[in-house]
Chains A and B, each alone.
Chain A
């Protein structure tokens, strides 16, 4: 069969199960677009390529499939870099297809030529410049395989115009198999036996789960392990939802804005069972004071995550789900009753921490952001998919919306990329048309990709944007308040648009609450509308996120309200 490069690309995408692409056209991808609209692959036209890549990222997280993003060469390609870096930090499987100038022009500083493979080398799991049409199908297959296997991540394919246009005899590509790339899924059982011994002898154990548990679909196994052993659970920001946020064993999130009990438990425990985490500095605080008396078990599919930041007692390289399954099986054979009894003191200690310093705020005459998130949680019965922007809004979302299921909290964790939430909400809504999708936003971040309102309205996506409007780059202001003598250098945002009118200008619904007693009615009205809605909550301007661990101090040394 004779096929054109672009047809081969689309055919291979279909065979990989792709039904949705987020993209933006341009010169060198004209032919590809011309063929694309003849297929049944749905193309979502964003308004900025950064929107496309964030949407593809969130689509992947909400659907469990690989997200796909298609852009033109030069500026189209460079506009995706921030989003690629975010997906890379959070290990999200996306395939980015960038157009490239024709091969004879590569290296000539041609119009709209950039070396996107060079630019994205450090922020992709792998990338390709396809030089021959004959290699295209296999490259695409390989890209999907690499993106979703092992520790997932973004893979970029740069496709020169002439490679797409050439017609060749098409041969179906073989299954992707690489001699140089073989992720370890099955854990070493010897190591797991050691883990069981540690669980048996630990007096003060905790489980610490991260994004890896969600990525490998190991939440049920994690829950089983925790329930069986009665070991309390904390997670990183990326791990929220991996364990039910309403379970009695739930400690809350760990880290810079973690709960008092999660951070204190980490300081005092004698065993950390870390699963699918990478011990980011926002989690550990000052590294040499982290969990000083604790043995650490670290289960992760990526060997580079293990012992990168902290010493580990028992490393286990393997897929989180498979490893936890095996561990659960080994635990079945252990008589846990006496062991759990001996840990009564530890359970009491945790309860004490929980009851002395719970997350708290005082709702008086000005709207508190925590109150908005809590009401949102109540009204949505905790079932919404929540995306966030970055800053205080993100942390309040993490603290006050209790996530019971994986795949429901979608945030730019590793990169902390403002402007993520709105396009992410679009991606999540497209992946899950029947779910309620809410972007918890800040007044600063929302303006970084506000143009995607047009996308949301065009595709009739009923996403809800909850702006916690403090008129500040709030998180930065908080640091200035605490560590820069309240000199609010360049963080005052008193020139923002009227978000209600802005929503209307885009053809969406705009609502506003300025007083606490309006919060609930605005939320009810907004959430149960079938339109795209922006809700502008005028919150206490100088509210801060607590607890807070100042950067570079021990995570047990928290600033509290």
Chain B
């Protein structure tokens, strides 16, 4: 069966060990995590967790049921697909030789990113966007030489009814 990317978003108790329960469930059952984001919500007693995982449908169903079963998981939603807005941020350090600097800046401009650090040999670019935007940007920058990259992983939110 086809593996697909799934975005699972959870509201959980903001307590020690909760993340470890969630991650342990993935590792203990051989499920894979592609990215993971955790932060407090407006209510300091709860956190929100967004996990991206690659799996086929029955496995995703099983993952979601297992997560839901954890006592500290208050609410779970599969946010895969267009029903949600997804964003990820990356900090990309690219080699910036004199002859490439203009090209890089024009890419930055087109993608509406920001240069947040400059040196004689590099730029660090801050970019926010969905998966498509990030991978398009990376494809353009790759030939110029990416030195380092740090990504936050996906966060997502359900769109409100129009």
Contact = CB atoms under 8 A, between A and B. Distances in A.
Interface of A: 117-118, 121-122, 125-126, 129, 146, 178-181, 302-304, 307-308
Contacts of B91: none
Given A304-B62, A307-B61, A121 B20 contact: yes
A179 B65 contact: no
B119 interface: no
A118 B71 contact: no
A303 B28 contact: no
16 contacts: A117-B17, A118-B17, A121-B20, A121-B21, A122-B24, A125-B71, A129-B16, A129-B17, A181-B71, A303-B65, A303-B68, A303-B69, A304-B62, A304-B65, A304-B66, A307-B61
Interface of B: 12-13, 16-17, 20-21, 24-25, 28, 58, 61-62, 65-66, 68-69, 71-75
Given A122-B25, A146-B71, 9 more contacts: A122-B24, A129-B16, A179-B74, A180-B72, A180-B74, A303-B69, A304-B69, A307-B58, A308-B62
A121 B22 CA distance: 10
Nearest to A128: B17
B20 A180 contact: no
Closest 7 CB pairs of A and B: A180-B74, A304-B65, A126-B71, A181-B71, A303-B65, A122-B28, A304-B66
B69 A121 contact: no
B73 A180 contact: yes
Nearest to A180: B74
Task: Provide the main secondary structure of the chain A interface.
Answer: mixed
Contacts of B13: 180
B69 A178 contact: no
Nearest to A126: B71
Given A178-B71, A180-B71, A307-B58, A121 B17 contact: yes
B74 A121 contact: no
A156 B21 CA distance: 14
Task: Provide the main secondary structure of the chain B interface.
Answer: helix
A117 B20 CA distance: 11
Given A307-B58, A307-B61, A118 B73 contact: no
Contacts of A304: 62, 65-66, 69
A32 B17 CA distance: 26
B61 A121 contact: no
A465 B65 CA distance: 42
A153 B21 CA distance: 16
Contacts of B71: 125-126, 146, 178, 180-181
Contacts of B21: 121
A126 B13 CA distance: 14
Contacts of B72: 180
A126 to B, nearest CB: 5
A121 B17 CA distance: 9
A302 B66 CA distance: 10
A189 to B, nearest CB: 22
Contacts of A178: 71
A181 B72 CA distance: 8
Nearest to B28: A122
Contacts of B74: 179-180
A136 to B, nearest CB: 16
